[in-house]
Amino acid sequence: AEQQQHVDIEYRALLVAPGDEENAIVNIVRHSDSETAIVFCTTRAAVNKLISRMGNRGFPVVALSGELSQKERGNALQA
């Protein structure tokens, strides 16, 4: 089956040099017209590191993962 994008969501994929991921994410989020963004990481450790670093830079952030219950995920998104 052919998948279609949501018309109200903008999708971007960028190639970034190893080690430059965090700065690339900060620049994209900072210069975006959108008020929200979803960033996917490959590991929970990477999520925790990015959450900490982005929070230290003043970005309002929440982490979601499969280890959270549906209620916990919903609460995080409402925060």
Domain boundaries, the chain: 21-78
Per-chain mean pLDDT for the chain: 87
Tell me the CA distances in angstroms from 42 to 33, 48, 57, one per residue in order: 26, 11, 22
Q: What is the pLDDT of residue 53?
A: 95
pTM equals 0.73
Q: What is the pLDDT of residue 13?
A: 85
Return the amino acid letter for 52: S
Using the predicted structure, report yes or no on whether residue 4 has a pLDDT greater than 80: no
- Which residue shows structure tokens 């017209």? 33
